[in-house]
A and B are shown apart, each in its own frame.
Chain A
Amino acid sequence: MIGVAPPSYDPAAPTTASTLPVGTSATVRGYVTELLRRHRRAFLLLVTVNTVAVVASMAGPYLLGGLVERVSDDARELRLGVTVSLFVGALVLQALFIRQVRLRGAVLGERMLADLREDFLVRAVGLPPGVLERAGTGDLLSRITTDIDRLGNAMREAVPQLAIGAVWVVLLLGGLVVTAPPLAPAVLLAVPLLVIGCRWYFRRAPAAYRSEAAGYAAVAAALAETVDAGRTVEAHRLGDRRIGLSERRIKEWTAWERYTLWLRSVLFPVINVTHVTVLASVLMIGGVFVLQGWIGVGQLTTAALIAQMLVDPVGLILRWYDELQVAQVSLARLVGVREIEPETGDAELTPAGRDVRADRVHFGYIEGVDVLRKVSLDVAPGTRLALVGPSGAGKSTLGRLLAGIYAPRDGRITLGDAELSRMPAERVRSHVALVNQEHHVFVGSVRDNLRLARGGATDAELWAALGAVDADGWARALDEGLDTEVGSGGFGLTPAQAQQIALARLVLADPHTLVLDEATSLLDPRAARHLERSLARVLDGRTVIAIAHRLHTAHDADVIAVVEDGRISELGSHDELVAAGGAYAALWRSWHG
């Protein structure tokens, strides 16, 4: 076998457009420097204990060298007792400090890792809502799971171990220079081979390991999907195709395993030959020196034993170096989030009144393609407005604009004459809240899930909020009431119950203006209508903008805006619109029989 080319299919290649930035090398460097500065004491401590441990470890070869010298010289006084005592002392010292090295390494690594993941989450939760809506949470999610995981290894092991290995090598070489100065250059004979071999390897390894890991994850993912979709797989008779897919994933993964195995098949002999070369050159050159009488046999012994000890730190460095390279990519993805400017907004801007007004608003997600065109709308305080229209007409987009999540490309959206998009997100949401179809239940108790909307809410308030969304029935039936653990891993709430939780949060947050984007779509239609009515009682006097796919929501509203093709085509009360006989009227009749 001459070699293995890297497989053509790369499972680590991105398939969806990543919209969040990846850190530039300057950002990464800046962050690493900051991290090291924060932990410089722990770092110095690690280097110190490591130095003591390594120096103590060299006592053995040194003392043995002395003994060998004296035995071979037939010296009268061996000083065996003293030597052995020193030896034991050094050994105990070494053992104690090796323990500290491991421990301090872990302490340092864990601290940096904890900082890193907490920093990341702090940044992530500060992202402007608009960025989140645009980018989705998938990319962030993969950063906080996969990338943190990869960095875990690097921080926990690679950084401390590399520091240890580097100190170790330097000290061993130093020991060699001190005990047998003429032999030090002999070690260098093996260096060119090592450098060439490692350069070849490290140029290819990090990317290959990334692909290999992605390939293995794809094997597990394919199976997890088959399991998750068990019903669908059986109904569509996809079993054989799923097996075929799993086997294809196995083939792709093992192709990368084979490639990385080839990379190591080159690296391993290089390292092995290097080790023996170091030992052999010290022994042979040193032997000649002894024969010439330039150094003593004791010095040779010490040098040979130290050369043998070099195996460990060199192995350590090589073992963890590529981990560090992999980590660099992950780090860049994590700190990339720092490059997004937090939208601070204009803190001075406060709305005067509750009038929501859209004035000739244009908006599009992509340059040159407007989803909304020249939309003007005036929502008086306390109005219930329903937005209806076909999918893709721009209802949800308009809802998000009215909730201040996006800024219009042209025109203004104001709340009490203050422009929403210029206000800080925290201020906007104290006035306007958006509940969309995303019905996320957080891991934690029911209480935690509600309290995020109002930190100090009492249990009575929480129950009242649940009652307002018709949820108190099932909530009271829960074994541990508000303390019941829900979310992934806890009690599984149905999508409908999750939606009720989301609405109960809204009741607690109690903003004066609400945007509900299909907020009851997952409830069974009758329950949905009942909920909307009881909610309406609680929200009496609030401005409610509801994006509806069920017409009864529209029917119950004060004003209906029909959104079609990025414009408001009809506007008026239910009765007016039915009387006008336009698109809404047609739909209503069809829907209502």
Chain B
Amino acid sequence: MQIQDLPYPHPGVPDARSGPRFLWWLFRNQLGGQLKALAWGLLHFASVSALPFCVGIAVQAVVDRSGARLALAGALLAVCCAGNALGDTFLHRAAITNWITAAARVQQLLARKAALLGSALTRRVAAGEVVAVSTGDVEKIGWFVEAVSRFTAAALTIVLVCVGLLVYQPALGVVVIIGLPVLALAVLPLLPRATRRADVQREKAGRATELASDTVAGLRVLRGIGGEQLFLDRYRRASQEVRHAAVRSARMWSLISAIQVLLPGLLLIAVVWHGVHLARDGRIGVGELVTVYSSVMILTYPLRHFEEIAMAYSFSRPSAKRAARVLSLERATDTGGSRAAGTLPSGDLHDPDTGLLATAGRLTAVVCGDPDAAGRLAERLGGHPSEKGTPVTLGGVPLDELPLDCARTAVLVQDKDPVLLSGTLRELLDVPASGAVEPSEALAAARCEDVLAALAQGSVGAEDPMDARITERGRSLSGGQRQRLALARSLVADPEVLVLDEPTSAVDSHTEARIAEGVRGLRDGRTTVVFTSSPLLLDRAERVVFLHEGRAAAVGTHRELVRADPRYRAVVTRETDEEADARTAGADGAGWDAAGSDVAGVETVGVETVGAGRGRALNIDRRHGGPESDRREDGRRESDRREDGRLTDDRLADDDVLHQLEEIEETA
């Protein structure tokens, strides 16, 4: 596998039974690359180790006054030079290629796993693990897998050099062979402690970074209300702790460095001591002494690989274990479905548990006092929920029996906290869709005009707001803007059934009213279920279902229910308890706000409790928008009129809505 051919067309099926098995699987899958690295590594280390021999030959040649042998040494050096340059460069290329391909393979496996697990990942532990593997563990895994061949090459070289020394100069070679294992192993006992200290340092550094980014993220709050000094002091403490931990960790590493100087040095001295005696007795030449001396100097280089492989393994073992665990995660429920993926069902959406029925082709609003219960119900309406229960049916077909993908195609559930994926606005709205709704229509229906303007302003070189970039989770936008974009995305998808859970909770009333019209117009003839407690949305729903204690307790229009059901009224008109009390206290005028009931020119219809309490709770405004002639005066009047028209005339025909949508598109 070459780097330019990445990503893998198929990253394969990993052996994720355990960490070591996973490492072995990765290694096995790049055997060719490993052999290549081994071969180049041998050339590299051999060339490096041959340098001392050249030096020895040169010195001996000079001692022997032989110009020819000196030239020979020069020629040998040139060969070593070429071998070293080639070996080093291509070892590096092979090793990095192994590293990158292993890392890319793991990343691809993770991406596939994440996409497969989908909503099952929202359990926080699992989600954090996947991200941790991707950001930290992949590198360590790649490092170890790659280092194996480099280590093998280094180890083989050391053996070769030792054998060479034994043959070349047995008397000195023995000293070196006895000394080398000590050098290789001496610092290993210190490594665990050093890496532990390094871990402590990393952890503290992470904590300091977290505090700093936390302070910066909340800086507007701090600047608005004070407390900067408190946070600065806290950060200073954390920062100094990092410093101390780092110096503590450096103490350990510096000890290791000192040992790495001391031990080879002692071996060198032993070699010199022994060698000079031998040379004195004429048993070895001066050149040979120099050769052995510089061999020992240079052998410390391949020896370092013993430490590296030990560290790489100790770092990568927990990483591999975590990766294996993440890659073996499965969904708790069966997603295959027992029915074949044929034509999608259509018809009424029915939940036997609560008795909720959403009529096909209608806009049904659901009011549920408990937001969490609403969330769970919304999830169940899409089929394949995380908790098993009686399955919801669409046109009589239980959704759980459909394959997951089919169920999601038929019913789109937009949860309370839909995530905006980063990318351009065009990419955001490019979701699997029926094709019947244009992005511009959806954006208009969700009233995203000011979002478009804000996006275009914050982007570099984006003339068209569709090319403007949305940052991660849409953090640069306000809560209401995010909700409207998410709604537009769901509208573009145009599913058979659309379930919206509190889609406009962060949107202001003016805009919410307009969105209600937009959604109703765009979803005309399609099944839509909206969980909400906002009267502005409820008033525009064709049917309202009121859930009380987990059952559909009342069904009707918003107006009917407000009139007929005090529990419903309490939920949707946001009465505080005291107001409810005031109402039940009767129409004796004891309420503290009686002014509302005498609004001039308002025809009140069927008001239950006129007077003291919330007398003006129920009225229908007959006033219409400005006269037709005002329509085209200017932009400002236009928007005023539009507002009046839309907000006051609650019987606005769908034709009118469409007409106004067109107008908005024109003016936009």
Contacts and interface: CB of A to CB of B under 8 A. Distances in A.
Question: Does B bind A?
Answer: yes
A125 B414 contact: no
What secondary structure prevails in chain B residues at the interface with A? helix
A359 interface: no
B591 to A, nearest CB: 14
Nearest to B370: A524
A226 B460 contact: no
The residue among A277, A288, A443 with the most chain B CB atoms within 10 A of its own CB is: A443
A437 B505 CA distance: 13
A224 B414 CA distance: 20
A199 interface: no
B522 interface: no
B517 to A, nearest CB: 11
A94 B262 CA distance: 8
Interface in A36-76: 57, 60, 64, 67-68, 71-72
B621 A223 contact: no
B7 A251 contact: yes
A392 B121 contact: no
A455 B92 CA distance: 57
A521 B258 CA distance: 62
B231 interface: yes
A452 B226 contact: yes
Interface in B427-458: 431-432, 447, 449-450, 453, 457-458
A95 B261 contact: yes
Interface string A574-593: 11001101010111011111
Contacts of A526: 571, 574-576
A72 B280 CA distance: 9
Interface residues of B, number: 195
Contacts of A137: 216-217, 219-220
A300 interface: yes
Interface string A89-126: 00110111011111101110011011001100110111
A269 B89 contact: yes
B640 A593 contact: no
Interface in B78-123: 78, 80-81, 84-86, 88-89, 92-93, 96-97, 100, 104, 107-108, 110-112, 114-122
Given A111-B243, A583-B644, A283 B55 contact: yes
Contact of B7 (A149, A228, A240, A250): A250
Interface stretch (B155-163, B179-187, B310-318, B533-541): B533-541
Nearest to B271: A64
Given A103-B251, A261-B96, A276-B81, A442 B215 contact: yes
A390 interface: yes
A441 B272 CA distance: 67
A129 B471 CA distance: 23
Contacts of B405: 237
Interface stretch (B388-396, B415-423, B655-663): B415-423
Contacts of A102: 250, 253-254, 257-258
B507 A549 contact: yes
B469 A15 contact: yes
The residue among A129, A226, A228 with the most chain B CB atoms within 10 A of its own CB is: A226
Contact of B225 (A390, A509, A581): A509
The residue among B261, B534, B618 with the most chain A CB atoms within 10 A of its own CB is: B261
A144 interface: yes
A556 to B, nearest CB: 9
Interface in B50-69: 51, 54-55, 58-59, 61-63, 65, 67
A127 B223 contact: yes
Interface in B519-576: 533-536, 539, 558-559, 562, 571-576
B257 A99 contact: yes
Contacts of A110: 242-243, 246-247, 250
Interface stretch (B12-20, B146-154, B285-293, B348-356): B285-293
Interface stretch (B24-32, B130-138, B169-177, B336-344): B130-138
Interface string B492-533: 010000000000011111111100000000000000000001
Contact of B475 (A138, A297, A444, A564): A138
Interface stretch (A169-177, A181-189, A241-249, A475-483): A241-249
Contacts of B4: 254-255, 258
B321 interface: no
A590 B6 contact: no
Contacts of B216: 121, 124, 137, 140-141, 144
Nearest to A260: B96
Contacts of B65: 291
What secondary structure prevails in chain A residues at the interface with B? helix
Contact of A247 (B7, B54, B210): B7
Contacts of B259: 95
B535 A593 contact: yes
Contact of B250 (A107, A506, A574): A107
Given A129-B220, A291-B65, A440-B217, A223 B419 contact: no
B265 A251 contact: no
A222 B427 CA distance: 14
Given A121-B212, A235-B412, A593-B559, A103 B250 contact: yes
A551 interface: yes
B3 interface: yes
Nearest to A120: B212
Contact of A60 (B131, B225, B265): B265
A264 interface: yes
A107 B249 CA distance: 11
The residue among A247, A433, A451, A528 with the most chain B CB atoms within 10 A of its own CB is: A247
A524 B259 CA distance: 65
A424 B270 CA distance: 73
Contacts of A272: 81, 84-85, 88-89
Given A102-B254, A102-B257, A237-B405, A243 B115 contact: yes
B230 A451 contact: yes
A331 to B, nearest CB: 16
Given A227-B127, A276-B77, A579-B599, A265 B224 contact: no
B75 to A, nearest CB: 10
Contacts of B254: 98-103, 106
17 contacts: A64-B290, A103-B247, A106-B249, A106-B253, A125-B232, A232-B419, A254-B100, A279-B51, A283-B70, A287-B58, A300-B62, A391-B450, A391-B480, A444-B234, A525-B574, A589-B619, A593-B539
Given A95-B258, A223-B110, A521-B505, 4 more contacts: A15-B469, A390-B508, A443-B210, A592-B616
Please give me the 4 A-B residue pairs with the lowest Cβ-Cβ distance, nearest first: A452-B227, A106-B250, A234-B118, A102-B254
